[in-house]
A and B are shown apart, each in its own frame.
Chain A
């Protein structure tokens, strides 16, 4: 199996521990992972702001870096969705991109997670992974319940997952929305945090670092002891951030 690891730009720059955990996790399951050194960004920040044309160069660069892989794996539902919808072909040819959790559940079909995490954890369901990649059943949809990232967390020893009042409401990050609609973005983040905090979580995790970066920014401003961790770090057996 020929796998290219795509690390989103802001994860590379600000959250290398999430990227390292993703790499180590895949290696643990015997995957032959390559990280193309010339990668940058998928172009989503420009495209979602209405400037798809300014993301053209990074899109072409992405294909140059990843075009020859069988699989591309990324620890981000949002970037994965953007690549899937806007960069890769839809006719079944070329590489297939997977968000990390769905790669573990659907391709590797992992049965066991060799990790322990003795903490109360809140799982934030990031929207693009949820509704775009179908990592879980959205609460609006009528049908059989499933949740791929949560199914992995449930395999971890001693991890106590809390039940939220609103299990899949948006955190308010939304890319440049976080800046151009600052007031409402912050209010949405605060409300999401209140749901987690009222359940006594020690750690909030998600399959998207961008949502967590937004929530972390609010937590730190409030000097809250609650930590954020990318799901790859918990699945990889990392201990809680100091």
Chain B
């Protein structure tokens, strides 16, 4: 994992392997294309996005009351509801539940929230063997990595590499990379874990205030397998994952899988309301910086995110630098507007890892204005501790020159003359990042302004 490195430096590292970069780009572009095909089949797509956006706006504006309503209904259903103000409290809750219920073996389905809270390492330090049961998550767990994508955690790995990982950890044949064969091996391995598990941890895609129930979407059925077999189910949910009514669910379920992978719906959409008889169901509601983000007017609607990952698949920068280059739990465009709110200093280069092309905003199923928020984070970052003084001074100087016609005319002409007569070896010296792999434009004999003066005035 790349940490404390600028995005640019991490991206440059990734880009050294051009063939791999192309493979990564093509793989994710393929997913984006599947999303396009699925979306185009629904003439009401844009209306759905607008509905989803408005529902989430309503949720964010009424989060306090909806959370209280949600808790009340969940408790009435027999769910034990816990609140966690930060990652530490969340992890402590999980640990206490495991202790109280004398849990020895636990399985976990995919939850980006638990990644955010660092739950796996926390529990491993306490001596637990945390078994991720999502295939992609299990692969990266074997490989001692974090997810590089929130929907496809092992998308950075090639089939052959997964074959090698399985050979090492599951004893599959050396060199075997047939997906059917490898999946079968993972299935046998995970069945054993499922059968022995006393507790299952899941994430939550949607909590429904009106019913107190919640919904978990998976493609592999691993959340269901885990929760049905274990006596204890711990569901971890970010407080922004609420929707007001069960009737709203259809809007989001139609958007989620189509945006994520181009499927019309996830293979498993599981509704949880109450514990089965003799079993326990815990729901941990986690803030961890969310109310703070809610209080930032320019950035609050980043909390509308339903974690489909479409902005990653469409982002030309993500596709060519991979998730690890962001050094944040949620990578890509949405990560670049969420992460600075968690740790501005650590993630200060992320809002600049974009051309502001706006594809993320257009692909977002809940219409988060991602690229506009990237622009706004840039303004915040340069004010609150900019680590690049050279950039600051060059921009200040540019501002001065461009703010004055006389300076502009003088500097423009000087620059053109200088460029014309400076030898290439100097023009393309190392300090000129533009010229490393690109030529500068040819210097014209006069500027447009000079031409206009001669020809039109």
* Contacts from A to B (Cβ < 8 Å): 7, 9, 11-17, 19-20, 23, 35, 37-41, 43, 45-58, 60-61, 127-128, 130-132, 138-143, 166, 169-170, 172-189, 191, 213-214, 216-218, 220-221
Contact = CB atoms under 8 A, between A and B. Distances in A.
A215 to B, nearest CB: 9
Interface residues of B, number: 75
A177 B320 CA distance: 15
Given A17-B444, A61-B403, A217 B439 contact: yes
A189 B375 CA distance: 22
A122 to B, nearest CB: 17
Contacts of A174: 354-357
A74 to B, nearest CB: 12
Contacts of A180: 8, 352, 391, 433
Interface string B429-457: 00001101111111110111111110010
Interface of B: 7-8, 11-12, 15, 18, 21-22, 25, 29, 36, 39-40, 42-43, 45-46, 314, 316-317, 320-321, 351-359, 361-363, 375, 378-379, 381-382, 386, 391-392, 395-396, 398-400, 402-405, 408, 412, 415-416, 433-434, 436-444, 446-453, 456
26 contacts: A14-B441, A14-B443, A16-B444, A40-B402, A40-B403, A46-B395, A46-B398, A60-B403, A61-B403, A61-B404, A127-B356, A128-B356, A131-B362, A132-B358, A140-B39, A141-B362, A142-B42, A172-B355, A177-B352, A180-B8, A181-B317, A183-B11, A184-B317, A186-B438, A187-B21, A191-B22
Contacts of B415: 13
B449 A12 contact: yes
Nearest to B48: A142
DSSP class of A's interface residues: helix, strand, loop or mixed? Answer: helix
A130 B355 CA distance: 14
A57 B400 contact: yes
B161 to A, nearest CB: 22
Given A142-B39, A183-B15, A221-B438, A41 B352 contact: no
Contacts of B15: 183-184, 187
A188 B444 contact: no
B393 to A, nearest CB: 10
Contact of A142 (B40, B356, B358, B403): B40
Contacts of B381: 50
Which 6 A-B pairs give the minimum distances between C-beta atoms?
A57-B403, A174-B355, A217-B438, A54-B399, A50-B378, A50-B382
B12 to A, nearest CB: 4
A155 B71 CA distance: 62
A202 B457 CA distance: 36
A131 B386 CA distance: 29
Contacts of B320: 184, 187-188, 191
A233 to B, nearest CB: 13
Contact of B439 (A183, A185, A220): A220
A58 B403 CA distance: 4
A189 B352 CA distance: 18
A17 B441 CA distance: 13
Given A41-B402, A181-B8, A131 B361 contact: yes
B380 to A, nearest CB: 8
A17 B452 CA distance: 11
A58 B399 contact: yes
Nearest to A166: B29
A134 to B, nearest CB: 11
A9 B402 contact: yes
Contacts of A216: 439, 441
Contact of B448 (A20, A48, A139, A217): A20
B403 A140 contact: no
Contact of A14 (B358, B375, B404, B444): B444
B399 A56 contact: yes
A92 B331 CA distance: 39
Given A46-B399, A143-B46, A217-B440, A170 B314 contact: no
Contacts of B317: 181, 184, 188
